[in-house]
Amino acid sequence: MSENAESAETERVWLVERTYSDDEQNIIILVYATPDGSKYLRKERSLTSFGDVRDTTAAIEAKPGSLGTVDDPEQREQYAAEVERTREQYGPDDLI
């Protein structure tokens, strides 16, 4: 598959937020966003044991249909700033 074909099918989103769930123990919430902050992807990850190691990369490829819209202009601006900061410090496949 060519790079152009792959980019048409997915969109690169960058990690902008990592928090622990208030409702459930051992749940980590990862939020990835597009560079302009207008779209986001929320992933919940359950940690089943201390030995449960799952890599978190600076960016992932997401299907456009799985992205939500950021309606709040302040949130959009915050996500865009976080994407910029992450991109300056890490490559897409770097573990963070």
CB 65 within 8 A of CB 42: no
Contact partners, residue 20, CB within 8 Å, separation at least 6 = 27, 28, 29
- Beta bridge partners of residue 11, listed in sequence order: 62
10 Å Cβ neighbour count for 80? 19
Q: What is the pTM of this model?
A: 0.81
Question: Residue 20: which pLDDT band, with cuts at 50, 70 and 90?
Answer: confident
Query: Cα-Cα-Cα-Cα dihedral of 85, 9, 94, 68, to 10°?
Result: 50
**Alpha carbon 86 to chain centroid, angstroms:** 11
Query: Cα-Cα-Cα-Cα dihedral of 63, 68, 72, 75, to 10°?
Result: -60
**42-57 tens-digit pLDDT:** 998 887 655 556 789 9
Average pLDDT over residues 67-74: 97
Domain locations in the chain as residue ranges? 3-89
